[in-house]
Amino acid sequence: MTTADSSRRAVLLTVDDDPGVSRAVARDLRRRYGERYRVVRAESGDSALDALKEIKLRGDLVAVILADYRMPEMNGIEFLERAMDIHPGARRILLTAYADTGAAIDAINVVDLDHYLLKPWDPPEEKLYPVLDDLLDAWLSSDHRPVPETKVVGHRWSARSTGVREFLARNQVPYRWYLSDQPEGQRLLAAAGHDGMRLPVVVAPGGEVLVEPSDQDLASQVGLATSPAEEFYDLVVIGAGPAGLGAAVYGASEGLRTVLIERTATGGQAGQSARIENYLGFPDGVSGAQLTDRARRQAGRFGAEMLTACEVTALEVSGPTRTVRFADGSSVAAHSVILTTGVNYRLLDVPGMTEFTGRGVYYGSALTEAAGCEGQDVFIVGGANSAGQAAVYLSRTAKSVTLLVRAPSLEASMSHYLIQQIAAVPTIHVRTGTEVSGVHGSDHLEGLALRDRASGRTELVDCQRMFVFIGAAPRTDWLDGVVRRDDHGFVLTGPDLTAEGRRPPGWEPDRLPYHLETSVPGVFAAGDVRSESAKRVASAVGEGAMAVMLVHRYLEGL
């Protein structure tokens, strides 16, 4: 056992209703073990159980419990029975008088007692410490490691449980996942005082309990910033995908007071990619999570402020000020704004699909579900690069992966290198000219109806996990009436706003819009959200950097 700070030391807990005895036990324990263990004492069974529950929720460990046999309301054996439910790995000692040795011997079978000690135990060097030394050596040799991370207790087919896990994973927050119907999950629920009817239950590292938390509540609890530190900035970047991260890095590194605002998690769709193999400088490929984490840390090192779980609902223009409003009623203002909100996956329009979202149907490559695909037949809907990357990644553990593609081939929508990789994996099957026409199941997805587009024939297949990649659409409705967009909702910029070299309607500056500037001076767009953009990670990063250069030009003209 290593001895880090005291908050992470394992606990020696003693409970005795006699205050004098309680203090004496704690004194002797601290004298020999105080540097390596945290000694906690209680004077009743109920207060000791409360302490054990709090220790459980904090993720700390209990190495040894010493309980007096003769306590009112709850004797030592009854207490140890209940303590076992909370900390089954703790070693158990019963403190008894000579007249109670029979009860102590019986307790060896009832509560799997490790030892009993007769009172008084003087001198402790002969009667107490040798016993504890042996029990601590045995405890240290067992695999009872501390769990200081956030803990999530949920159901395998709970959509919100999946959402919470995805949020934590994509924001690089360490956590442990416990199923609510397994022993450790049940122990955590009991310690938190919940019956498991409402899931997930999230236990923060400090022991705080959240039931079915929103993303914002979750972000606040695990230490992610959700509100701006200042009221006014040089630059607000909305959306933390590759374009937004690129803009934040270059904006902050060039001295602009920069804040990056993200609705869910940094990385966007690229952050969910299992492997990006055509990004410059990574000949062996890089996962979206790795690339995102490096960019996020780089932006932070240059001083960019990052806000998570912030839902942007409006953009307001007042003279030179650009104000961004949030769903909770708060706002932040700046001289300039870069829109890098990217795109959202399109929903598969099949009857009953909504019911199974998060319960077997996942949009994008759900990071937390990969382990659950082991040994299963997995289906992926889509024929573009994101679908191909997911197929190669999931084929490592899945029994089989079937790509369902509406088009007659992959060549028109997928990069050549990915097509070659897929062809080389024997467990990946490609079904072209095929679409999902129906889904079925009880509390989770259990099967699909697949329709052959040429013949019209329908086939029923078993399926518990399906991942959907069928294109994407911008989420820009909140810009209505402020920023001009094309017929598909993508933001128009630069030359797309001008006709025959004329300034767009309502344009006040005595110049044409800069290349990435929108119909509102000082508001720029970069990456996938921009009309006619290349929809590639490298181009998004480049546009983010280029937008910052144009922000400087705009600010110089104020």
pLDDT digits (tens, 9 = 90+) for 393-439: 899 889 999 999 999 999 989 999 999 999 999 999 999 999 999 99
3-class SS of residue 398: coil
- Inter-residue contact 61 to 10 (CB < 8 Å): yes
**Residue-wise DSSP of 259-299:** EEE-SS-TTTTGGG-S-B-SSTT-TT-B-HHHHHHHHHHHH
Is residue 361 located within the same domain as residue 465? yes
Is residue 385 located within the same domain as residue 452? yes
Full domain range(s) for residue 201: 150-221
| Mutual angle of helices 19-33 and 129-141, in 10-degree steps | 60
Integer Cα distance of 164 and 305 in angstroms: 23
106, pLDDT greater than 80: no
Is residue 319 located within the same domain as residue 383? no
Any domain includes 502: yes
Could you give the count of Cα atoms lying within 13 Å of 143 in the half-sphere of its Cβ?
Answer: 0
CATH number of the structural domain spanning residue 439: 3.50.50.60
Is residue 430 located within the same domain as residue 507? no
Is residue 249 located within the same domain as residue 363? no
Is residue 183 located within the same domain as residue 129? no
Of 94, 117, 141, which marks where a domain is finished?
Answer: 141
For tokens 């949020």, what's the residue?
A: 167
pLDDT digits (tens, 9 = 90+) for 244-282: 999 999 999 999 999 999 999 898 888 877 778 888 888
pLDDT digits (tens, 9 = 90+) for 496-540: 998 767 888 889 999 999 999 999 999 999 999 999 998 889 999
pTM for this model (two decimals) = 0.75
CA dihedral 109, 113, 118, 123 (to 10 degrees): 150
Is residue 464 located within the same domain as residue 374? yes
The residue among 136, 137, 65, 140 whose CA lies nearest residue 107 is 65
Is residue 12 located within the same domain as residue 134? yes
Tokens at 463, concatenated: 């399926």
Is residue 373 located within the same domain as residue 482? no
Of 21-35, 234-248, 260-274, the least confident: 260-274
Return the exposure string of 444-453: e unless at least 16 CB atoms fall within 10 Å of the residue's CB, then b: bbeebebbee
Is residue 125 located within the same domain as residue 165? no
Largest CA distance in the chain: 103
pLDDT digits (tens, 9 = 90+) for 396-408: 889 999 999 999 9
pLDDT digits (tens, 9 = 90+) for 214-223: 999 999 988 8
Contacts of 143 (CB under 8 A, 6+ apart): none
Overall domain count for the chain:
4
pLDDT > 70 in the chain, percent: 95
- Inter-residue contact 529 to 493 (CB < 8 Å): no
Any domain includes 120: yes
CATH number of the structural domain spanning residue 83: 3.40.50.2300
- Inter-residue contact 429 to 410 (CB < 8 Å): no
Is residue 184 located within the same domain as residue 115? no
- Inter-residue contact 524 to 541 (CB < 8 Å): no
Is residue 118 located within the same domain as residue 240? no
Of 435, 470, 505, which marks where a domain is finished?
Answer: 470
CA end-to-end span of the chain: 61
Cis bond before residue 521 (omega within 30° of 0): no
Residue 59: predicted pLDDT: 83
| Average pLDDT, integer, range 204-232 | 91
